[in-house]
Amino acid sequence: MRKLAELNLNKKRCLVRVDFNVPLIDGDVQNDFRIRAALPTIRHCLQRGASVVLMSHLGRPKGKVVPELSLEPVASVLERLLGQVVQFSTDCISEEALAVSNNLGPGQVHLLENLRFHPGETDNDSSFSERLAKHGNIYINDAFGTAHRPHASNVGVLDFFRLSASGFLLEKERKYLSRAIQSPKHPFVVILGGAKVTGKIELIHNLLKQADKIIIGGAMAFTFLKVSGKKVGNSKVEEEKLSIAKKILSEADKNDVEIILPVDVVAAPELDEDSPWRVAKLDELEEDESGFDIGPETSMIFESHLDQAGTILWNGPLGVFEIPAFSTGTHSIAHAIINETEEGAVSIVGGGDTASAIESLELGMDGFTHISTGGGASLELLSGLELPAFKALDDHE
């Protein structure tokens, strides 16, 4: 795919697909991480004499206008971050919106309303794509979070442009996530957490080709622990995935990849802030207790395996970080990764819940080499799957 720096943008209108799918509460943006991630591309276009038309989705309105999912609050945040006026249109393909785009001068910014208010976006409808394309004469995709979806704004729209390019964020995501699975600096240590093995099977199989060690925490660890003959109490186990977990452990052994599992947990009878909890070794777990975080001994073991790592890939929190009593493991491992990054390791953090954990625990986003903006997209890319948006850009003449 073409790179943005290769294009002459002077007096051009850049239609930029961004990912402004941010959390809103009562009409206020709660986290501007994804908005800030798009700023380098937006500023580059403006500084090179272009006008910029931005398009994004927000939430899942399913082809209907849902006022609570309007991008208008994002326009206000973007104005503050850019330090300039951002024009906003209440429909992404209306005649009024097209008129605003066509009358933009160099250095001006126009944000379109939620793409998914139209069913044509997720249906990758050609007429909807053609209508969107009228907003610009150069297409730029900088929305990694939707790169795994074949939608109108990141696939179909390319049929109506002569010039296209990837934005700086898309380039960065591809660089770090592709390198992690193709040519990592060794020792390559992978940390996997989260709730389920489901959705990460292809990822694990792909990582077994390159990783030296795979550390498994979070609720998904209990499926591996049970198949290994360990006590798990009442902890969440995916019974239907036990055979797959057994196969993964066997493949890891054949590939000489070390799998590291928890030895103790923070246990409680139920997942509740007020529930009494205790640290317990696995063989001490009561039948009515569940593990909701890795224990202190496990944290120390995990940290020791991160020592001297060349590349660290982290996907999934190690416990239920939203509840303070069960956030310590995620907090400790995050700090260990930050320390290793300072020592020269390349640290790559998957998007979604992992990025949310880092922000909610106020660990700072600058301590890692790269934090992905895409949850599902990063999982699919790391699993070795082809992303539709990448293919569309690669194939575009």
**Active-site residue set:** 34, 196, 352, 376
CA–CA distance from 253 to each of 178, 240, 258, 303, 383 (Å)? 25, 22, 7, 22, 20
CA separation (Å) from 88 to 11, 45, 184?
21, 18, 43
Nearest CA to 144 among 392, 394, 393, 389?
A: 389
Using CA atoms, how far apart are residues 216 and 332, in angstroms rounded to an integer? 15
CB atoms under 10 Å from CB of 371, counted, come to 22
Total residues found in the chain within this entry:
397
Coil, strand, or helix at residue 305? helix
| 385 neighbors 202 (Cβ within 8 angstroms) | yes
Distances (CA, A) of 61 to 57, 67, 118: 9, 9, 9
- For residue 211 the two structure tokens come to 């990783």
Task: Tell me the angle at which helices 328-342 and 296-306 cross, rounded to the nearest 10 degrees.
Answer: 20
From the list 15, 51, 21, the residue with the least C-alpha distance to 132 is 15
List, in order, residues 6 or more apart from 101 with CB less than 8 Å away: 13, 51, 53, 110, 134, 135, 136
Query: What span, in angstroms and rounded, lies between the C-alpha atoms of 230 and 328?
Result: 23
Cβ partners under 8 Å of residue 290, min gap 6: 233, 234, 235, 236, 267, 268, 269, 270, 271
